[in-house]
Amino acid sequence: MIASGTPLKVSLAATAASLVLVLVVFELIRSRRLRERYALLWLLTGLVLVVLSAWRGGLNTIAGWLGVRGYPPAVLFAVGLLFVILVLLHYSTVISRLSDQNVVLAQRLALLETKLEERGERS
């Protein structure tokens, strides 16, 4: 295989950036600004990127499997993009559920108000 390897500098920079991502996510969870269930995907994203960035042999091998010749770090972009799409899709489902719950809350609230008013009028 004639694929050129991952340059050391690229590997170091990518590893550093991914580590920062993992640390930021970790800190957000620690300070309770991010719930664990929503943070899982982000942590996974960060960890996968850390591993792929630091482990140059691995990245080169995976690039070979995928038929990426010439520039193995392109795989990092692809993996990063894939995870971003997953995270966004996950958010869409979360928002959908929230808006469904919001509808139920509004309906219950309005029905309770009506019940209270109608009780008050009768007594």
| Interacting residue ranges for another protein, rule: CB under 8 A | 100, 103, 106-107, 109-111, 113-114, 118, 122
Q: How far is the CB of 103 from another protein (least distance, A)?
A: 5
Rounded-to-integer distance, Cα 64 and Cα 67, Å: 5
Task: Name, in order, each residue with C-beta under 8 angstroms of 101's C-beta and a sequence gap of 6 or more.
Answer: none
Rounded-to-integer distance, Cα 25 and Cα 59, Å: 24
Q: How far is the CB of 101 from another protein (least distance, A)?
A: 12
- Of 31 and 92, the one with the shorter C-beta distance to another protein is 92
- Of 20 and 106, the one with the shorter C-beta distance to another protein is 106
- Of 4 and 107, the one with the shorter C-beta distance to another protein is 107
Q: How far is the CB of 118 from another protein (least distance, A)?
A: 7
> Which tokens in the block code for residue 95?
């928002």
What string of DSSP letters covers 103-119? HHHHHHHHHHHHHHHHH
DSSP state of 34: S
Q: How far is the CB of 95 from another protein (least distance, A)?
A: 14
